[in-house]
Amino acid sequence: MRRDIRLGATDGWIRTPNSKSHYIFGFVDITGVPENLIFEYRGKAQLMAPLIDVKAGDEVYLTLTNLGNPQRPDLDDPHTVHWHGFPNQIPLYDGVPEASIAVPVFRNFTYYYKPLDPGTYKYHCHHEPVEHIQMGMTGPLIVRPADYDPALPSKKTAYGSGTGTQFNREYFVFLTEMDARAHLDIASVQEYDWSEYKPTYWLLNGRSYPDTLDDKNGGLFPQQPYPALIKANAGEKVLLRFINLGYQQHSMQLLGIPMLVVGQDAKRPLGLHGENLSYRKNAIYIAPGQTLDVIFTARQPGTYPFYNRGFHKNINAGPGPGGMITEIQVYAPGTLPPQTGPNQQ
Amino acid sequence: MNVVKEFWAKAGSITMPDDVTMPFWGFAPDPDGAPQLPGPTIEAKVGDDVRITLHNTLAEPVSMIFPGQDIIPDPVKDENNTLVSFTQHALPDGGTVTYSFRAVRPGTYLYESGSSPEKQVQMGLYGVLIIRPLDYYPIESTRTAYGIGTGTGYDIEKIIVAGELDSALHEKIAAGLPYDMLNFAPDYFTINGRAYPDTMNPDNSTSQPYGAAVKTESGKRVLLRLANAGFLTHSLHLSGGFFRVAAGDGTPLRTYFLDTTYEKTTITIGSGQVYDCIYTAGMPGEIYLYDRELRYTVNADRFPGGIMTRLQIVPGRP
Amino acid sequence: MDQVTTDTRERVINLWARDGYISIPDGNSIYIWGFVDDPGKSAQLPGPILVLSQGETVTVTLTNHLSEPVSICFPGQSGVKAITSGGGESPVEPQYQDGKLVSLTNFAAPGQSLSYIFVASRPGTYLYESGTNPHKQVHMGLYGAIVVRPKDYMAHHPKHRTAYGAGTGTEFDREYLLIPGEIDPELHQAAENGQSYDIRSYKPRYWTLNGRSNPDTDLPNFAGHLPNQPYSAMVMAEPDEKVLLRYVGAGIESHPLHPHGNHTRAVALDGRLLRNGRVDLSYKRFTVLVSPGQTVDQIFQWHGLGYTPANTIPTLLPGLRNLAIGHTGMTMWSGSPYLGVKGDLPVDIVSYNEAGEYHFMLHSHEEPQITNWGEFPGGMMTMIAIYPTGTLGQHHGMLPITPPAP
């Protein structure tokens, strides 16, 4: 199936729970927006960038439009889209400016992908990536298996029917950090020394605790629209798609429910002859640039803390609790209606 | 069978090899004794009902969480719906709480405070839980970590729990002064609460009772229960050769159907993770197990120190 | 267990531990300590790559030209012995003075020599590094890589050009070593000035692959202006070739290395094949975390998507005026979307593209590490260059790396 997606690259602002605002760069979804209205989206970047949700076999035409930065009109950085992990990519569609091209301000470029391998990926800008990734130009990307059908339980899977990856609900868990000084410097036209990088905030889907517990499907956080709260009915299987696009390794611990790792870097853990190497973990350890798929079965109703075991990161530039803390809320069977999309509450 | 324990969360003091002392908070196994770092090792067998009662002598709520065990956490939040503890807690100054769970899976696990853990786990409120397999019996053929047939038979076992200590932070927290976790900068690094060379000393009855040295014979199998109670990553390296990674986070890598164990010289352990590794002792001599993240092999700025311990191998009996 | 009892091959390697300087593309010079195999040369970073054959008895004689004791550890090698002052051989062991540990293994005092002997009994990718004051000496540069060829290795026979032996699924067409490292210039300066070396202040500003920071990582082996950093980090191959990437974690931090273009299949860790009998445990990743003291052998293959001028890309390429090319004044791009074809480029941009090859970045995903003291581009970054079939010389991607003939 042909999919046309249009993303705008621009800047914006996000909030942390201590009532502070932070300047970001990011992407915004302008698919189908008439040409005379796309400029309304300047300054409306969101963190995480819009979810790209496609199916194996789709022909994806992704147009990137560089909308410029209203806060920093002097900053004429070009942007790109790099689909991290796309197999057998060619440089023209790989988004690395040093090896191909980038998109100047007020210009468009269409990337083409025909994904064949299901899994959890991510995309991000690759122009001056140390700056653009930290500033927020990074988003989740899901490739569904070719036989994916959310209406049929046996076909609502991460890697295809018969792969043991069926789920009832899915949530991506996007791990990043924020060094607020860098964001302040860049908003204020100052240079920032990236070897001084030292995060002061830790984010799940662009939010830090307690904003991670908000379940309004984006309402209170228009620039940080993806909830970080995980809900399920008892008996359901939940797929967690971990994505690390920060600059640190993170250890995420789920207290009270074992996690089964069924995918890593968009590949099922399989040996060369198909040996099933799925394994259980209490704490997931994930490095920048990696993805990891976990399935757990929600058994008993209750509240299960889900947090970064590197406890010094569970703060918001000050006393805890803050940072990468959220919850798995399990309800009695039948309580929650079916999920309408990834991360929807 | 029932495993019933009582712990007291208390304040105490620990000493580093360069005579630097710092306050810490730890679990004590009796009401009058000093707290220890790490807390007392809890041992149970698959099928046991474990009951731990925690008594709190500190001025803030304390709790215990048991990652990997079948307990529903039931976190505590305050009137503003802000998280206080990951699980039910013991109130300050004399409060108690009891945790119950059935030991279902063999393995090596951590237990730690679930209340302000960035403060309390750093201060020392952590320890190790070992669950023995159902068919375990302490003789050669049945002494395994995960059961007969899992490739986890061993002759001797050693718990190796890595941690970090930020002495300035400990002073502030003990004195009730404000502190900023953004300044978290550990200056001491530990195995079983001790920094090298104290890691080589035997078990004793100090505030850091568990040694980390191993003495064995060529050919014997040493089960290294490697746990990371710290906040940072540690890459533990064995200088004498390879060990086999037999299990991770309480999951054996070898089952009846598939053997996914693998050999390493060095294993990277993220915060909160645990690996059970089997080292078959080689030629007689001495080898070291140390953190190849070499920043952590110092006491303050001096090598040797920190996360290092020694394995002594004597000739095997014919 | 492999039988090596009848193997009488011997190998003698002489290494000197000394100091020297390396250069960083931002103009900085860094004082280092390192190993070198020529007493007339100053230290190189990393140390000389040692390519050994399974079964041979290797004698490594270390001569110490530094002002503190130095030693060599051989992680993953078993039965390492040192030749004692009496001339006999004795297993290496940690060294103590007055009951205090001074070295993790037998060391050579300043001005002295010490020989280590071991049998390279198992094929694989390994490290060698100092075991004395390692928190200082390894970080200063006293590290290098060892490759042990399997017994049945034959460089010109496809089935026997393997990392772990015929039939192990480790055949390769080309092989490359990638050795990440970090540099804290203040600590290096403290060593240069004989000042105290306080690892608590550890703060790297430079990151290296094979001792070089980008863009020097992309320059050839034995680049003229990098006399002490002889090894390139650039990976060069042709479509469908199996490229063996040997990552060697010499640093003291972990590095998540991400090659663009495709996944890699990790086939061995720390010099041990990921296999139990006939059960294969290899796995695919697009980002591999290379952690301290550890090695990862992977196979990378790029097949392409079949685009040629006859089977064109499905999108329209905007004109040059509507594209940003060569933001830093140079580009690796050919100007054309097609492999082997060169196209138009803006006239003020220099292209280093040679034959219309494709370039895919291979870099640490901990992005501050792809800077030189905070400036992008730099650091732990290089390219995988896929050349049109038949255009890449056979000498690319071969070990050992030998200097070009004069």
- Domains present along chain B, CATH in parentheses: 2-149 (2.60.40.420), 161-314 (2.60.40.420)
Q: How far is C49 from chain A (nearest CA, A)?
A: 28
Q: Are C334 and C351 in contact (CB under 8 A)?
A: yes
Taking CB atoms and an 8 Å cut-off, how many pairs form between chains B and C?
110
In whole angstroms, give the CA distance from residue C181 to residue B310. Answer: 27
Q: Measured between CB atoms, which of C91, C138, C197 is closest to B285?
A: C91
pLDDT in tens, C217-256: 999 999 999 999 999 999 999 999 999 999 999 999 999 9
The answer on pLDDT for C401 being more than 50 is yes
Rounded mean pLDDT of chain C?
A: 95
pLDDT digits (tens, 9 = 90+) for B143-156: 999 999 899 999 99
* CA separation for the pair C39, C36 (Å, rounded): 7
User: A338: closest CA among A262, A233, A212?
Assistant: A233
Of C78, C135, C276, the CB nearest to B261: C276
pLDDT at A103: 97
Instruction: Burial-class residue B155 by CB neighbours within 10 Å (0-12, 13-18, 19+).
Output: middle
- Split at pLDDT 50, 70, 90, the class of C173 is very high
Q: Which residue has the tokens 């047939």?
A: B149
Contact B81 A210 (CB under 8 A): yes
* From A258, A283, A305, residue closest to B273, measured CB to CB: A283
d(CA C278, CA C282): 12
CA–CA dist B60, B176 (Å, integer) = 11
Share of chain A above pLDDT 90, in %: 93
What DSSP character marks residue A314? S
**A181 phi, psi to nearest 5 deg:** -65, -40
> Which residues from chain C sit within 8 angstroms of residue B266, using beta carbons?
75, 270, 291-294
Cross-chain Cβ contact B239/C131 below 8 Å: yes
Domain boundaries in chain A?
2-148, 171-331
Q: Which residue has the higher pLDDT, A59 or B258?
A: A59
pLDDT in tens, B93-131: 999 999 999 999 999 999 999 999 999 999 999 999 999
Inter-chain residue contact C376 with A131, CB threshold 8 Å:
yes
Q: Which residues of A touch C314 (CB under 8 A)?
A: 59, 61, 112
Q: Which chains touch A (3 or more CB pairs under 8 A)?
A: B, C
Q: Which residues of A touch C325 (CB under 8 A)?
A: 97, 101-102
Is the CB of A275 less than 8 angstroms away from the CB of B116? no
Q: Is A148 on the interface with B (CB under 8 A)?
A: no
CA closest to A247 among chain C residues: C366
Please state the ipTM of this predicted complex: 0.95
Q: How is residue B2 written in tokens? A: 């029932």
- The answer to whether C279 contacts B260, with C-beta atoms less than 8 Å apart, is yes
Compute the distance between CA of residue A256 and CA of residue A307 in angstroms, rounded to an integer: 12
Tell me how far apart the alpha carbons of residues A138 and C200 are, in angstroms, rounded to a whole number: 33
Confidence of residue C278 (pLDDT cuts 50, 70, 90): confident
C-beta separation of A291 from A266 below 8 A: yes
Instruction: Give the residues across from A84 on adjacent strands.
Output: A122
3-state secondary structure of A69: coil
Q: Decide if A2-148 and A171-331 have a common fold.
A: yes
Question: Are B303 and C101 spatial neighbours (Cβ–Cβ below 8 Å)?
Answer: no
Residue A33 buriedness (CB in 10 A; 0-12 / 13-18 / 19+): middle
Question: Between residues 17 and 56 of chain C, which touch chain B (CB distance below 8 Å)?
Answer: none
At position C266, the amino acid (one-letter code) is A
| Contact criterion met (CB < 8 Å) for A283 and B184 | no
With a cut of 60, say whether residue C12 has pLDDT above it: yes
In whole angstroms, give the CA distance from residue A279 to residue A283. Answer: 12
How many whole angstroms from its chain centre is CA A263? 16
Which of B254, B290, B303, B311 is the best mutation test for C, with the most CBs of C within 10 A? B303
Cβ burial, residue B131 (10 Å; 0-12/13-18/19+): buried
- What type of residue is C61? T
Q: Let me know if domain A2-148 sits in CATH 2.60.40.420.
A: yes
Size of interface A-B (CB pairs under 8 A): 113
Neighbours of chain C (3+ CB pairs under 8 A): A, B
d(CA A26, CA A79): 10
Q: Do C279 and B265 touch (CB under 8 A)?
A: no
Residue C2 has pLDDT above 50, yes or no: no
Average model confidence (pLDDT) across chain B:
95
Q: Which residue of A has its CA nearest to B253?
A: A279
Phi (first) and psi of residue C93, to 5 degrees: -155, 160
**pLDDT of amino acid C6:** 57
| pLDDT on residue B240 | 80
Q: Measured between alpha carbons, how far is A90 from C304 in angstroms, rounded to an integer?
A: 7
Domain A171-331 has CATH 2.60.40.420: yes
Write the secondary structure of chain C as one string of H (helix), E (strand) and C (coil).
CCCCCCCCCEEEEEEEEEEEEEECCCCCEEEEEEEECCCCCCCCCCCCCEEEECCCEEEEEEEECCCCCEECECCCCCCCEEECCCCCEEECCCEEECCEEEECCCEECCCCEEEEEEECCCCEEEEEECCCCHHHHHHHCCEEEEEEECCCCCCCCHHHCECCCCCCCCECCEEEEECEEEECHHHHHHHHCCCCCCHHHCCCCEEEECCECCCHHHCCCCCCCCCCCCCCCCEEECCCCCEEEEEECCCCCCEEEEECCCCEEEEEECCEECEECCEECCEEECCEEECCCCEEEEEECCCCCCCECCECCCCCCCCHHHCECCCCCEECCCCCCCCCCCCCCCCCCEECCCCCCEEEEEEECCHHHHCECCECCCCCEEEEEECCCCCCCCCCCCCCCCCCCC
Cβ-defined contact of B294 to C253 (cutoff 8 Å):
no
Tell me if B224 sits within 8 A of B272, measured CB to CB.
no
The pair of three-digit structure tokens given for residue C394, joined into one six-digit string: 């056979």
Mean pLDDT of C19-42: 97
pLDDT band at A220 (very low <50, low <70, confident <90, very high): confident
Chain C residues in contact with A271 (beta carbon < 8 A): 279-283
Among left, alpha and beta (phi > 0; psi -120 to 50; other), residue A74 is alpha
Q: How many CB atoms lie within 10 A of CB C241?
A: 19
Both structure tokens of B116: 């302000």
pLDDT digits (tens, 9 = 90+) for C46-100: 999 999 999 999 999 999 999 999 999 999 999 999 998 788 999 999 999 999 9
Res C3: pLDDT: 44
Task: Return the DSSP state at B63.
Answer: -
- Check B117 against A305: CB less than 8 A apart: no
CA C283 to chain centre: 21
| A275 interaction partners in chain C (CB closer than 8 Å) | 279-281
Q: Residue C1 pLDDT more than 60? A: no
Q: How many CB atoms lie within 10 A of CB A38?
A: 17
Positive or negative torsion for Cα A143, A145, A146, A147: negative
Q: What's the pLDDT tens digit per position in A266-288? A: 999 887 788 888 899 999 999 99
Q: How far apart are CA A137 and CA A25, in angstroms?
A: 6
Of residues C263, C282, C315, nearest to A271 (C-beta): C282
Please compute the mean of the pLDDT values over residues C191-213 and round it to a whole number. 95
Chain B residues in contact with C91 by the CB 8 A cut-off are: 283, 285
Of residues C19, C43, C25, C47, the one with CA closest to residue C217: C25
Structure tokens of C50? Answer: 């040692």
Q: What pLDDT is stored for residue A276 in this prediction? A: 81
Residues of B in contact with C94 (CB under 8 A): 286-288, 310
The CA distances from residue B138 to B134, B154, B155, B201, B276, in Å, are: 12, 10, 9, 25, 18
Any CB–CB contact under 8 A between C322 and chain A?
A: yes
Alpha helix (H) residue ranges in chain A: 129-135, 180-187
Write the CA distances from A311 to A294, A305, A307, integer angstroms.
22, 13, 8
At residue C8 the predicted structure's pLDDT band, cuts being 50, 70 and 90, is confident
Residue B251 and residue B274: Cα distance in Å, rounded?
Answer: 10
What's the predicted TM-score (pTM) here? Answer: 0.96
Residues B262-312 have pLDDT tens digits of: 999 999 999 999 999 999 999 999 999 999 999 999 998 899 999 999 999
Least CA distance to C95: which residue of chain B? B286
Higher pLDDT, C270 or C278: C270
Residue C4 confidence (pLDDT) above 70:
no
Q: Nearest-CA neighbor of C216 among C34, C87, C382, C6?
A: C382
Among chain A residues, the shortest Cα distance to C285 is held by: A265
Q: How far does chain A reach from its first CA to its final CA, in angstroms?
A: 28
| Shortest CA gap C230–chain B (Å) | 26
